[in-house]
Structure 1
Amino acid sequence: MLQKPGTAKAGGGHRPSAGADEKPRTIGFMLVPDFSMIAFASAIEPLRLANRASGRALYAWQLYSADGRPVTASNGVEVSVGLPYSKAQGLSVAIVCGGVDVQAIDHRELMAALRRLASFGTGLGAVCTGTYVLAKAGLLAGYQATIHWENHSSLAAEFPDLDLSQELFEIDRNRFTCAGGTSAVDMMLSLILRDHGPDIASEVTDQLIHHRVREADERQRMDLRTRLGVAHPKVLGVVAMMEASIERPLSCAALAQRAGCSTRQLERLFVRYLGHSPTRHYLTLRLERARDLLRQTSRPVLDIAIACGFVSASHFSKSYVEHFGRTPSAERKGARLGTSVAA
């Protein structure tokens, strides 16, 4: 993590950084092709505003790519960088900025640079799917980390020994990761608070019109009530049970029993509030999880089918085609090509 200068005051208070002659911490942003622009901007802008709020250079930054040439974000915007990964040196922290299809990119040069930096004590961070690169480089062993909720299942499947949470961000010694999107703002504000105290952190928060720094353990996704637009407690409870038991689906009767109602009543509630049966909703959740795994991992189709509660690859493929209009293999091929492939 960004190491705070000085020591805490007696009583648990925080002493801001020392005088104006202190050198700025240099942050290296390692941009991966198709990186998330919002996550990158959310990480770098708090640093700029911290400098502005303090009236001096608390932070400096440098952008890197594989070859030192501009990198295109997932939104199509091209960003100029200064140096290739291999030239990264003298950094306080290196932050990997990931985005879509991060697992399909050759990260060998980046991983070599990160391992070299780590050997010199450089702090390592990641926004959005940058966590995948740190994990693949073996640089998260023994550390707690997080990643965007959409990539959580696939990362956990590929790196089963990884201590992976679903928090907004994780700061564990000199490793810090966040879920991406605007959660990068909260992570960087927390680090600024540690480095330079509450006055500067509060001013940066106000400048961002962010109102408050979210805690790390706040949920990544909207709650079910907001996401579904439904307030009925039995419907919300059953959907939560479905989301928690993708690999071993519960029967409609078992769901109803746990919700304290009859199967027929449960079916009526789902049709009334969601417009379809509980069986249909459950199948959609499982197929959407399967789609994420197909796009984000190289696991065999049969393994993915079983992980999503299907008894055979043929049953899975049939259900997938009926729902998405293309086969699982076409989905995976389309993800690799960056296109939408029809079945």
Structure 2
Amino acid sequence: MFLPFPTPAGPPGVRGRGAMTPAPLRRVGLVLQPGFSTLALAGVLDSLAAVNALQNDAVYRSDCLCAAGGPVTSSAGLQVLTQAWTLATDWHAVFVLAAEAGPTDALLSTQLSAWAAQGVVLGGVDAGAAALAAAGLLDALRACADWAQLDSLAEAYPAVAWASGLWEIAPDGQRLSCAGSTASVDLCCAWLAAQHGERVGQELVQALGLKGLRPRDERQRAGYSERRGAGSPKLAEALALMEANLAEPLPTEDVAQLVGVSRRQLERLFKQHLDTLPSRHYLALRLGRAQRLLQQSSQSILQIGLSSGFSSGPHFSNAYKSHFGHTPRDERSQRALAWRGTPTSGDTP
């Protein structure tokens, strides 16, 4: 199936007291790499289309690009017709969409450097930030990519501060990056809000049917199989060990030894990929298990605490309250009230 672009340009002009004044046109190029995420592309396109109806400062028009033009196939098998990026166009911004950080593309690096010299805003979606990094355009900056790509990207481009959050915008607003899937919507909402004001940003979030803009540093949630099959194999082994030993937690030194790395190396892996320490992540896993048992089982609070690796009832209660903001007993009470259909007081969900 072929999907032609560009998208409609949107409102024709700016409303004023007199005649209609043409709104400045901002062209956004979307460089598609084979296997790009259809969902990530849709997030960018929908955001640009929605903002056209919410403000009169500018009209956004998007065009899909590749080196020579022609169809590019997404990971879902959708073929999108593109135009050659060598065509003379005054781009306001260019996003690179890629599912994997492949070999360095010298032609793309040259083109990105040329756009950067012209002052074009450059963004990377999913693994698209790898193309910007290969051109040296992210050195000394924070950048995001899909969780599965972070390990290889950190090794290939150590001058970039790779973050495990959802999206990043450089302080000068000239470099953008985000994780895959729907993170492209969060990035575009934040970027467009910075250009057109907080009110437009809030209306854009509502127009796209979102509850709110997810913060840039919200951690990506890798699935159970993804944690084992992608990223760092050593990290995957450590996570598997932790999840298999929740009732009797292993010391960090033991986890590191069983995985075959030093404690310092293990802590570096957790900090790089999950932005936390092994001990904190382990504690969060145990408390998450305890929360599920409190909500779904009839075991006593003490039994749940002991089976989640806590030495006593008070130890469990204090750790639980510190993590969730309320005690295990409060969790049980709220669950019981919900089952009976009794409203709780205050705004506690």
In 1, distance between residues paired with 2:123 and 2:88? Answer: 15
> For 1:247 and 1:183, how far apart are their aligned partners in 2?
34
Deviations 1:130-184 (A, max 9, x none): 0111111111123221111110000001112222111211100210100121111
Tell me the residue number matched to 1:207: 207
Q: TM-score scaled to structure 2, two decimals? A: 0.58
Q: Which residue does 2:230 correspond to in 1?
A: none
Given that 1:94 and 1:123 are in contact with CA atoms closer than 8 Å, whether structure 2 keeps it comes out as yes
The aligned runs of 1:35-184 (5 Å cut-off) are: 35-54=36-55, 58-81=59-82, 83-87=83-87, 89-100=89-100, 102-104=101-103, 107-172=105-170, 173=172, 174-184=174-184
List structure 1 runs of 4+ shifted beyond 6 angstroms. Answer: 230-233
- Tell me if the contact between 1:64 and 1:88 (Cα under 8 Å) persists in the aligned partners: no
8 Å CA contact retained: 2:147, 2:220: yes
Q: Which residue identity does 2:113 align to in structure 1?
A: R
The CA distance in 1 between the partners of 2:177 and 2:189, in whole Å, is: 13
2: distance between equivalents of 1:209 and 1:68? Answer: 33
1:156 aligns to what SS in structure 2?
Answer: helix
Alignment partners' CA distance in 1, 2:159 and 2:59 = 37
Matched residue, 1:248: 261
Structure with bigger gyration radius = 2
Q: Secondary structure at the match of 2:31?
A: strand
Tell me by how many angstroms 1:86 deviates. 2.2
- By how many angstroms is 1:18 displaced? 10
More divergent stretch after superposition (133-142 vs 46-55): 46-55
Greater share of strand:
2
Deviation of 1:33 (Å)? 1.2
Query: For residues 110 and 216 of structure 1, what CA distance do their matches in structure 2 show?
Result: 27
Structure 1 gaps of 5+ residues are: 1-16, 251-257, 260-265, 274-343
Call closer, same or farther: CA 1:237–1:43 in 2, change over 3 Å. farther
* Aligned equivalents of 2:129, 2:248: Cα separation in 1: 31
Q: Distance in 1 between matches of 2:260 and 2:129?
A: 24
CA gap 1:247/1:79 in 2 versus in 1, 3 angstroms: farther
Q: Per the alignment, do residues 246 and 74 of structure 1 end up closer, same or farther by CA in structure 2, a change over 3 Å counting? A: farther
Equivalent residues of 2:24, 2:57 under 8 A apart: no
The 1-side partners of 2:203 and 2:105 are apart by: 37
Question: Which sections of structure 2, spanning at least 5 residues, go unmatched?
Answer: 1-13, 228-238, 264-277, 280-285, 294-349
Q: Is the partner of 1:54 in helix, strand or coil?
A: coil
What displacement does 1:52 show? 2.3
3-state SS of 1:194 partner: helix
Distance 1:35 1:223, change over 3 A: closer
Cα deviations across residues 280-322 of structure 1 (Å, max 9, x unaligned)? xxxxxxxxxxxxxxxxxxxxxxxxxxxxxxxxxxxxxxxxxxx
Change (3 A) 1:116 1:211: same
TM-aligned CA deviation for residue 238 of structure 1: 5.6
Which amino acid letter does the alignment assign opposite residue 151 of structure 2? S
> 1:237, CA displacement in angstroms?
7.0
Does the C-alpha gap of structure 1 residues 108 and 86 become closer, same or farther in structure 2, counting only changes over 3 Å?
farther
- Summarize the Cα distance change of 1:235–1:140 in structure 2 as closer, same or farther, 3 Å threshold: farther
What pairs with 1:209-224 in structure 2 (closer than 5 Å)?
209-221=209-221
Percent identity reads 28
TM-score, normalised relative to structure 1: 0.59
Equivalent position amino acid for 1:79 in 2: V
CA contact (8 A) 1:27 1:59 kept: yes
